[in-house]
Chains A and B, each alone.
Chain A
Amino acid sequence: QKEVEQDPGPLSVPEGAIVSLNCTYSNSAFQYFMWYRQYSRKGPELLMYTYSSGNKEDGRFTAQVDKSSKYISLFIRDSQPSDSATYLCAMSDAGGTSYGKLTFGQGTILTVHP
């Protein structure tokens, strides 16, 4: 089983739709969960960061973590064409054995069409 699994898509939605992206993981030591957005041939840009379980909202973005199910989600409301990018989940057990090493999912390619 892969440590972090993410459906690569591609996912295509109309402008204004609610987008749901998710990742599952197998390492129960993960405590820090992040979502990055990556445009083609650019560096990952941090979108959301969550520690342990729960929800976090920032504007049109909501991140959810369910540690009991080892499942994390990112919701994008009122999606815009500028949201078209690859979305990467990443996680870490920092403070444990990994010294901050991030383990990434494959990335989901999202296209929002006008």
Chain B
Amino acid sequence: EPEVTQTPSHQVTQMGQEVILRCVPISNHLYFYWYRQILGQKVEFLVSFYNNEISEKSEIFDDQFSVERPDGSNFTLKIRSTKLEDSAMYFCASSEVTGETQYFGPGTRLLVL
């Protein structure tokens, strides 16, 4: 069964450093998303991406964040200068049609020290 994959599974970084989180969505999906979940809190929407551009972003997704689909298979989330409060689990998701079933990856646990 096709699945969303994410790398790395864990990332530890120093405050102020740049991190890139990588995702490979399901191959025939056209809509891509990033969400995050701070420990013990809700899953929160960050950004949606379609046709090589951002469709929608939340207020969390400020100028420190960017997304890219550098080739036909990868979808990345970059945090330019990490802050302590960026420590969270980051999930990538994809769907075939907007708004319908989104399939989530296993997540990247980011720890900013």
Give A residues with C-beta under 8 Å from B: 31-32, 34, 36, 41-46, 49, 88, 90, 92-95, 98-107
Query: Does any Cβ of A come within 8 Å of B89's Cβ?
Result: yes
Q: Looking across the interface, which residue of chain A has its beta carbon closest to that of B92? A: A43
Q: 7 shortest A-B CB distances, which residue pairs?
A: A94-B99, A99-B55, A100-B98, A43-B104, A104-B43, A100-B99, A99-B56
Instruction: Using A49-B101, A101-B58 as known contacts, list a sample of 12 further A-B pairs with CB atoms less than 8 Å apart, ordered by residue number in A.
Output: A31-B99, A32-B99, A32-B100, A46-B104, A88-B43, A92-B99, A93-B99, A94-B100, A95-B98, A100-B48, A101-B33, A107-B42
B93 — which chain A residues lie within 8 A by C-beta?
A: 102
Main secondary structure of the interface of A (DSSP, over half): loop
Interface window among B12-20, B71-79, B105-113 = B105-113
Flag if A34 contacts B101 (CB, 8 Å): yes
B residues 37-84 near A (Cβ < 8 Å) are 42-45, 48, 50, 55-56, 58
Flag if A43 contacts B100 (CB, 8 Å): no
B95 — which chain A residues lie within 8 A by C-beta?
A: 100
Query: Does any Cβ of A come within 8 Å of B102's Cβ?
Result: yes
Flag if A46 contacts B101 (CB, 8 Å): yes
Measured between C-beta atoms, what is the minimum distance from B52 to chain A in Å?
14
Measured between C-beta atoms, what is the minimum distance from A72 to chain B in Å?
16
